[in-house]
Structure 1
C-alpha cells in the first residue's frame, strides 16, 4: 500500500508539472519540482541528525525507567485496555509500557519525548510480529492512535495565532480538542472494525468513558481561563510533568541499585543507531511529498473543491483553509506555513484563519509518522495502516470544519 501510494505521489507530481507547462505556460514547474527533491533530501538528513540527540536522551531515560520498574507500573494502568484492543500483545510485555509512555507524551503535546517512546513501542511490538517485513494489527492500531492522538495543549498553534495578531489566541482551544477527539475515536473504531476487535467490551467502554470524562473536565477548566493564563498554565504543567518524570525515574533507579549512568548510556547508543537508520525512509517519503507540493497538485485540488462547492450553492468559506488540511498529513512544516499564510491573507480572527488553526491542531503529519516508525523497524508492507490513518485524518478534518462553523460561523 505504502509503495503504491509513494509511486502515485511521484506520478501525480509529474502529470501536474506537465499540465502546468502545457496549459499554463509554466515550464519552470519542472525546475521547482527538482529543487524540491534537493531540498527534501537535505531536510531528511537534517531531521534525522536533529533526532539523534533527542532519541539518544529519551531512549537512555527509557532504559533506566525499564530497569527501575517504572515502565511496568505505568503499563499496568493501561494494560487492561490495551490488551483488549491489541490482543496480540501478552500481559506484562515491554510493549505495553512503551505504548503507555508514548500515548502520555502525545496527550501532553511533548513531541520530543513522544517520538522516541513511539519508536521503542514499534520495536517492542516487532518482537511479536510473525512477519518482520509486515505490520502487525497491534502496530497498525498504534500508528492510527499516534496520527490522531488527542493533544491537550496545542501551544504552538496559540503562539502562531498570537504572532498574527489574534485578539484571543486560545479561542480555538476547545474546537481543537473536539476535532482531535473525533479523529482519535474515528481512527479507533475504523481500525477495530477492520481488525474485528470488539469495542463493546465493558473494560474498553469503561476506559473510553473515563477518558472522555477527563477530557470534558479539562475543557471546562481551561476553557474558563483567560488566553494568557491558559497558555502559561498548560506550558508549565507539561514541562513540570516531564521534568518530574525524569527525576522520578532516576530516583527509582537509584533506590533499586541500578547503575543509572551506564544504563542511560546503553539506551542512548540505540538512539543514535535508530536515528541514522531512519534517513532512507525519510528521504523516500519527504521527496515524494515535496514533489507533490511543488508541482501544484495541492492548488489544483483546492480550486476543484472550491468550484464544486460553489456549483452546489454551499458555503465556500471553509475552502480558504483547506490547504492546511491537505498539507497536514504530508508535512508538518508545510501545514504550518499554510496556516500562517491563511492568517496573514484573511486575518487571524477570520473564519478561515480560525479554521486553519483548528485544522493544524486536530490531525498529525501522517506520512511523516509512517516514514519514521516503519523505518525504525524496517517494515515494507503497511497493510491497512495508511487507509485507517487517512480515515482518522478525514474524520478530524470534517469535525474541525463542523466545529468551526459551530463556534465561529
Structure 2
C-alpha cells in the first residue's frame, strides 16, 4: 500500500509540476518527457531569426551548418542556436534521463532481457543445488543462526541456503548472481507465508538487510575512480565497507525491535562477531598489499568466487548423480528446468520494474527532483554543512531511485571536483553503500506478486538515510 501511494505521488506530482511549468513559461516543450533520450540537448525556446541578438544572427548566417554554440565550455552545458525551417531553435542543457517511452523500451531491451538471461542461468544452477541435496546441507549448517534472525522460518528450510547465497553474492559484488538467488529466496519464503498478499516478517527482514548494500569489494567504484585518474582508486573501499556494515546492523536492529527478535542469543552474538572479525582480518590483509597486489586481488576475488560457486555446484551434482536418477531426471535436464523457471520469473517482474522506472524517469526529467535536491542542499549549507558535502548530496538522493542516474552524478562529481576531493570520494561512498531501494522492491516483491509490503519501504529508506549520515562522518574522518 505504501509503495503504491508513493509511486502515485511521484508520478502525479511530476506531471502536475510539468504542466505548471509549461503554462507558466518555465518549460517550452514537454516532448522530451516522452520521447527524449538521456544527454540529448533540451529545447528551451524557438524564435524568428530577426528576434535573436545580432551577433548570433550573423554567426548563424555565416555558418555552413546554420548553427551557433554559445559558451563552448566542456564542463557546462552549452546554449546552441540552430536555424532550420525559418526559425531558430534554442537548446540549453542536457536531458537527465530517457523519456517515458524511451525508458519503457530500454527497460525491456537493456534491463529485463539481460536480467532474464542471468535468471535463467543461475536458476538453473540453483535447481542443481536443490536436486543434488547441497542446498539442504547448507541450510542445516546455517539454521542455528538463521533461526534467530528469521524465527518464523522453519529449521533447515531451503530459503536459508538461497538467502545465504544471495548475501554472499552481494557481499562479493556479484550482482548478476545475487538477484537470481534473492528472487529464489523470496519465492521460497512466500511458500511459507500464511498471508500471500502481505509481506511476512522474514521477507521484510530479508529485504531490509539489503538496504545498506553491504559489499566487500566495490569493484565498479574502484574502476570508475581509476578511469578518472584517482591517486589511489581503492582508498574508498574501507569507508564503503564501514558505512554499509553500520547500515546493515542498523537495519537488523530496527526490524529486529519491531519483530521482537532476541538479540541476546549466544549463537547470534558469536556469528556477528565472527563476521566482524573476518571483515577486519581481510581488510588488514588487503591494506598490507602494495598497489599492484591490491589491484590484482580486488580485480579477481569476485570473479574467482563466482567460478568456484559454479564449479562446486557442477562437481557436487556429478558426485551425487544418483539423486538425479532417483528423481527420474539428469543433471542437464534439471538445469534446463531451473532455467525455464528463471525465464518465467523474469517475465513476471517486468511490469513491476517498468512501472517503477517510468515513474522515476518522469520524476527526474520534470525538474521536480532537481528542485527538491537543490532545496535540501540549500538547507544543508545554511545548517553549517560544507560545500564539498552538499555538492555530493545529489548522488545520495538519487541512489534509492536510480543506480544509473546516481552513477552519472558520481562520475560528474569526480570530473568536476576531482576524484581525490572530498566531494568525489563521498559521492563514491554514497554510490556503493546503499541500495537502489525502489528497483529492488519492484523486482523482489514483483516476483511474488506481493500487494502489501507493510513497513518495508519506510525501513529501507530510513536505512538509506542512516547510510548517508554515516558516510558523511566516515568520509570526513578518513579524508
User: TM-score normalised to the size of structure 1?
Assistant: 0.96
Q: Distance in 2 between matches of 1:43 and 1:144?
A: 28
Write out per-residue CA displacement over residues 285-324 of structure 1, whole angstroms, 9 at most, x where no aligned residue. 1111111111122221222122223323332321111111
Q: Distance in 1 between matches of 2:25 and 2:220?
A: 37
Q: Distance in 1 between matches of 2:290 and 2:472?
A: 24
Q: Verify the 8 A CA contact 2:377 2:393 in the aligned structure 1.
A: no
Corresponding residue of 1:192: 256
Q: Verify the 8 A CA contact 1:169 1:227 in the aligned structure 2.
A: no
Q: Distance in 2 between matches of 1:3 and 1:227?
A: 48
Q: CA deviation at 1:375?
A: 1.1
Structure with the larger RCO, 1 or 2 (CA within 8 Å, 6+ apart): 1
Is 1:273 the counterpart of 2:344 in the alignment? yes
Gaps of 5+ in 1: none
Q: Verify the 8 A CA contact 2:130 2:136 in the aligned structure 1.
A: yes
Corresponding residue of 2:302: 238
2:198 to 134, 139, 147: 134
Match of 2:234, SS state, is coil
In the TM superposition, 1:27-42 aligns within 5 A as 27-28=28-29, 30-35=30-35, 36-42=99-105
> RMSD of the TM alignment (CA)?
1.6
Q: Verify the 8 A CA contact 1:309 1:316 in the aligned structure 2.
A: no
Write out per-residue CA displacement over residues 25-71 of structure 1, whole angstroms, 9 at most, x where no aligned residue. 2233x333333211221122121111121111101011111111221
In the TM superposition, 1:312-323 aligns within 5 A as 312-323=383-394
Q: Verify the 8 A CA contact 2:145 2:267 in the aligned structure 1.
A: yes
In the TM superposition, 1:390-401 aligns within 5 A as 390-401=461-472
Match of 1:267, SS state, is helix
More strand by share: 2
Write out per-residue CA displacement over residues 118-149 of structure 1, whole angstroms, 9 at most, x where no aligned residue. 00000000001112122111001111112324
Q: Verify the 8 A CA contact 2:401 2:439 in the aligned structure 1.
A: yes
- Cα distance 1:200–1:256, how it changes in 2: closer, same or farther (>3 A)? same
Q: CA deviation at 1:225?
A: 2.6
Q: Verify the 8 A CA contact 1:155 1:231 in the aligned structure 2.
A: no
Gaps of 5+ in 2: 36-98, 325-329
Corresponding residue of 1:203: 267
Q: Verify the 8 A CA contact 1:175 1:404 in the aligned structure 2.
A: yes
Q: Distance in 1 between matches of 2:18 and 2:473?
A: 34
Q: Verify the 8 A CA contact 2:104 2:358 in the aligned structure 1.
A: yes
Q: Distance in 2 between matches of 1:352 and 1:221?
A: 28
Q: Distance in 1 between matches of 2:427 and 2:292?
A: 21
Q: Verify the 8 A CA contact 2:228 2:414 in the aligned structure 1.
A: yes
Is 1:162 the counterpart of 2:229 in the alignment? no
Write out per-residue CA displacement over residues 145-183 of structure 1, whole angstroms, 9 at most, x where no aligned residue. 123241001000000011111111111111111111111
Is 1:407 the counterpart of 2:478 in the alignment? yes
In the TM superposition, 1:175-324 aligns within 5 A as 175-257=239-321, 258=324, 259-324=330-395
Corresponding residue of 1:13: 14
2:414 to 318, 335, 343: 343
Q: Distance in 2 between matches of 1:364 and 1:307?
A: 25
Q: Distance in 1 between matches of 2:20 and 2:261?
A: 45
Corresponding residue of 1:363: 434
Q: Verify the 8 A CA contact 2:250 2:463 in the aligned structure 1.
A: yes
Question: Which deviates more from structure 2 when the two are superposed, residues 9-18 or residues 166-175?
Answer: 9-18
Count of residues paired in the alignment: 407
Q: Distance in 2 between matches of 1:352 and 1:132?
A: 45
More helix by share: 1
Write out per-residue CA displacement over residues 309-350 of structure 1, whole angstroms, 9 at most, x where no aligned residue. 332333232111111111111111111111111111111111
Is 1:88 the counterpart of 2:89 in the alignment? no
Q: Distance in 1 between matches of 2:251 and 2:170?
A: 16
Q: Distance in 2 between matches of 1:299 and 1:271?
A: 38
**Which of the two has higher C-alpha Rg?**
2
- Cα distance 1:370–1:228, how it changes in 2: closer, same or farther (>3 A)? farther
Q: Distance in 1 between matches of 2:218 and 2:23?
A: 43
Q: Verify the 8 A CA contact 1:44 1:286 in the aligned structure 2.
A: yes
Q: CA deviation at 1:23?
A: 5.9
User: TM-score normalised to the size of structure 2?
Assistant: 0.82
In the TM superposition, 1:102-141 aligns within 5 A as 102-141=166-205
